[in-house]
Amino acid sequence: ALSLPGGPGHGDTDGPISLDVADGAPDPQRTKAAIDHLHQKILKITEQIKIEQEARDDNVAEYLKLANNADKQQASRIKQVFEKKNQKSAQTIAQLHKKLEHYRRRLKEIEQNGPSRQPKDVLRDMQQGLKDVGAH
């Protein structure tokens, strides 16, 4: 991600350029679109977690079935394969949960403060502000 000095996390009033009140106000349509978009992402991630958990459960059931009918040598190999699959599955689920939490935090932030402005929008507004200052 591109990070500009005085970028995210800093208020619009940090610099000598002041923005019109309308520019600083959250756009209700944009806020709703951002919220809807995040809801879709949350649903998608939740579904992915469910699918991955079902796959993990199927893997456990298959392991138990195979291990029951195997001799010692086979059982050892089956266990190795199972543990590798199970570890990968747990890692995937953990990553998905992390992503889900990120989306939930972002959603809460947008619901409270509106969507953050895109850097290009901030730059465009600053450029317009400079033009306005130069014209007077």
Structure tokens at 133: 């200052």
| Per-residue pLDDT at 12 | 42
**pTM greater than the 0.75 cutoff:** no
Query: How far does CA 113 lie from the centroid of its chain?
Result: 17
Give the DSSP letter string of 36-95: HHHHHHHHHHHHHHHHHHHHHHHHHHHHHHHHHT--HHHHHHHHHHHHHHHHHHHHHHHH
Per-residue pLDDT tens digits of the chain, which is 136 residues long: 444 444 444 444 444 433 333 445 568 888 999 999 999 999 999 999 999 999 999 999 999 999 999 999 999 999 999 999 999 999 999 999 999 999 999 999 999 888 776 666 667 777 777 777 776 5
| Domain boundaries along the sequence of the chain | 29-111
HSE toward the beta carbon, residue 121, CA cutoff 13 A: 11
| Length of the chain in terms of residues written | 136
The Cα 115–Cα 54 span in angstroms is 35
Question: Of the candidates 48, 55, 37, 60, which has an alpha carbon nearest to the alpha carbon of residue 106?
Answer: 37
List pLDDT tens digits, range 93-130.
999 999 999 999 999 999 988 877 666 666 777 777 77
CATH no., domain 29-111: 1.10.287
**What are the backbone dihedrals phi and psi of residue 59, each rounded to the nearest 5 degrees, phi first?**
-65, -40
